[in-house]
Chains A and B, each alone.
Chain A
């Protein structure tokens, strides 16, 4: 730092105060600084001020605004989804179909394996049934039978 004469007013004031500081010229010794510090300081200040690249002016969306917009968007999505679901016609999903054979644990028999009973075979079985068996059957199931149709059937046969 360039040494210049110390201010006389300040020196005289110290003398008036009879301070030992009057005999001590403020030191021109300064703490050490990095070499060329003031040049770099100037460059650093200017790079952060006048030389800084102008940022493009754009609309600033704050975080709080984004948060509100997200909440509104989520609400709209829920609303649209709800309306869409309510407007759908009820349909039975194929997933709900239950195969009766599987459900009752039945064995599916191929058509060719099925036994066809002839009328003679059926008549033979009927003939083996005696009157007592028929009477017993009728007495046991009389409540479930349609009497009038049964009567008509007998009359027609006769």
Chain B
């Protein structure tokens, strides 16, 4: 995270000065676009949809750069806007279908299969299980399990207590475990 902090400090320094703001924003886009894309993509499943939302997130960041609260970190601010924007999109488009297995299947039909049928099947089962989670648990699980985000950071991003986040994550893990036991034991054993 030190590297991350140094990078953020550089971006922040550039954004602070009007003359270097443009340069700072270019660096921000380059540093965060991939991570933000995958965070959004885990939530939205479809590439075209994720692409639209990611662009909207960065446009929003650019427009509100003056409103950036210096008390929070750049990382927290960016992720907070990304998560809120993604949730807003999901609610607006009503595409958040946790029980729709076809979406989970479509997600994995697009993956690059290089590790054989077993790994692919595990991925499918895991993805289906994650898609069945309630909205909040799904976000927490994605940020923790895939983005490897610390609870302290997640608490800042989602503006919730660390205890509540831990509880959500543990519930999510248990539900996924239960789903895997029911649907994917044989895949894991392979």
Contacts and interface: CB of A to CB of B under 8 A. Distances in A.
Interface of A: 1, 6-7, 9-10, 14, 17, 19-21, 23-24, 26-27, 29-33, 38, 41-42, 44-46, 48-50
A41 B56 CA distance: 11
B123 A45 contact: no
26 contacts: A1-B34, A6-B148, A14-B173, A19-B174, A20-B181, A20-B188, A21-B176, A26-B146, A29-B111, A29-B113, A29-B119, A31-B47, A31-B108, A31-B112, A33-B47, A38-B34, A38-B37, A41-B54, A41-B55, A45-B33, A45-B54, A46-B29, A48-B59, A49-B59, A49-B62, A50-B62
Given A10-B145, A32-B110, A50 B25 contact: yes
Interface of B: 22, 25-26, 29-30, 33-34, 37-38, 41, 47, 51, 54-55, 58-59, 62, 107-108, 110-115, 119, 122-123, 126, 144-146, 148, 150, 170, 173-174, 176-177, 180-181, 188
Given A19-B177, A27-B123, A44 B115 contact: no
Contacts of A38: 33-34, 37
Given A29-B111, A41-B51, A21 B145 contact: yes
B84 to A, nearest CB: 18
Contact of A23 (B34, B108, B146, B188): B188
A29 B114 CA distance: 8
A30 B119 contact: no
A50 B15 CA distance: 12
Contact of A24 (B25, B26, B110, B188): B188
Contacts of B113: 29
A31 B174 CA distance: 26
Given A21-B176, A26-B145, A41-B54, A31 B33 contact: no
A33 B38 CA distance: 11
Contacts of B110: 31-32
B173 A21 contact: yes
Contact of A32 (B38, B54, B62, B111): B111
Nearest to A34: B47
B26 A17 contact: no
Given A17-B170, A45-B58, A24 B30 contact: no
A14 B115 CA distance: 24
Contacts of B126: 21, 24
Given A38-B33, A45-B58, A50 B122 contact: no
Given A21-B126, A31-B47, 7 more contacts: A10-B148, A29-B112, A31-B41, A32-B110, A38-B33, A38-B34, A50-B22
Contacts of A21: 126, 145, 173, 176-177
Contacts of B119: 27, 29
